[in-house]
Amino acid sequence: MDQFDAMKAFVAVATWGSFAEAARRLRISPSAVTRSVAQLEDRLGLTLLSRTTRSVRLTERGQIYLESSRRILEDLETGERQARGENAEPRGVLHVAAPIVFGRLHVLPMVGRLLADHPSLAVRLSLSDRNVHLVDDGVDAALRIGALSDSSLTAVKLGAVSRVLVASPAYLAARGSPSRPADLEDHDLVAFEGLEATDAWRFSTTDVRVTPRLSVNSADTAIAAAETGLGITRALSYQVTAAIQAGRLVPLLQAFAPPAMPVSVVSQARRVGSANVAAFVAAARDHLRSNPLAPI
């Protein structure tokens, strides 16, 4: 293999976390992939991948080289298509990251549309309630909810969501409804640790210190706990819209809700012209045009 083929092999292994899967995607033998990556590491004098019998992980230097390799291969492919007079068509692997519930409810349909429209494209969808680092994690585009702190990223606003307090009708029948934020001191609270700090809930007029009876590490679990009557929880509007409409949850203290938060798709500035990222942004806009994120 030449250097570009070796880069392709390395990127495939890093993307899919497996020499065997990389070989299948590249339609070459696993031994060829192993040999190619080994030759690349020997040429660089670096260990790019840490291998065990159970996993393949990027080293620190491997993470740096992965980003450079992806950029070089993308530029090479774009140049070849332009030389042949072809329009930029999404192809290869697009790595997208999103929060868990938002990813399941909204990003998955976006990805389905994308795959249907672009047969040469594959998507790796990573769902996590932590904000991934686009460069370190090899992410091409990520969905972010809330204010953006990283000015080096390019953002496209897709909509807005709000924070909302909810509880089940059964819980409210037994304990009553709070009429102001301070009343939460007299209620059982369920806190999702990923939605800011669990000991302070923000409202339009004040921050209220809270002591949860139950703390969980996923939004789905907090919402399920509220539906079963374990207490009042705080969620994002898109996470509980269906449950509110079905009567399983009741929104509370809406007059005191803080301002809505933007929902954006972010990417590295240099990837703005990427056909893959552009196609994903277009699919996201189309999906949310038909399924708007209306704050409750």
The stretch 43-65 carries a mean pLDDT of: 86
Q: Are 254 and 139 in contact (CB under 8 A)?
A: no
Q: In which band, very low, low, confident or very high, does the pLDDT at 136 lie, cut at 50, 70 and 90? A: confident
- Residues forming a β-bridge with 285: none
Say which amino acid occupies 177: S
Q: Are 11 and 63 in contact (CB under 8 A)?
A: no
Nearest one of 114, 125, 154, 15 to 74, comparing CA atoms: 15
pTM of the predicted protein model: 0.67
Helix (H, G, I), strand (E, B) or coil at 207: strand
Per-residue tokens: 64: 């740096």
- Domain 163-256 coded CATH 3.40.50.1000: no
The stretch 9-37 carries a mean pLDDT of: 88
Strands 189-192 and 232-236: parallel
The stretch 90-111 carries a mean pLDDT of: 92
What's the confidence (pLDDT) of residue 85? 46
What's the confidence (pLDDT) of residue 225? 97
Nearest one of 41, 15, 40 to 26, comparing CA atoms: 15
Which residues, in sequence order, are CB contacts of 156 under 8 Å at separation 6+? 264, 265, 266, 281, 284, 285
Letter string b/e over residues 266-289, b meaning 16 or more CB atoms within 10 A of that residue's CB: bbbeebeebbbbbbbbebbeebbe
The residue among 102 and 154 whose pLDDT is bigger is: 102
Q: In the predicted model, what is the mean pLDDT of the chain?
A: 87
Q: Domain 1-87: which topology?
A: Arc Repressor Mutant, subunit A (1.10.10)
What's the confidence (pLDDT) of residue 106? 93
What's the confidence (pLDDT) of residue 98? 94
Q: In which band, very low, low, confident or very high, does the pLDDT at 270 lie, cut at 50, 70 and 90? A: low
Per-residue tokens: 35: 């040999």
178-224 pLDDT, tens digit each: 999 999 999 999 998 765 555 789 898 888 988 999 999 888 999 99
Per-residue tokens: 4: 């570009």
**Alpha carbons 126 and 105: distance in angstroms, whole number:** 14
Helix (H, G, I), strand (E, B) or coil at 221: helix
Per-residue tokens: 288: 């949310």
* Mean pLDDT comparison of 18-22, 218-222, 246-250, highest-scoring range: 246-250
Domain locations in the chain as residue ranges: 1-87, 163-256
The residue among 250 and 210 whose pLDDT is bigger is: 250
What's the confidence (pLDDT) of residue 60? 86
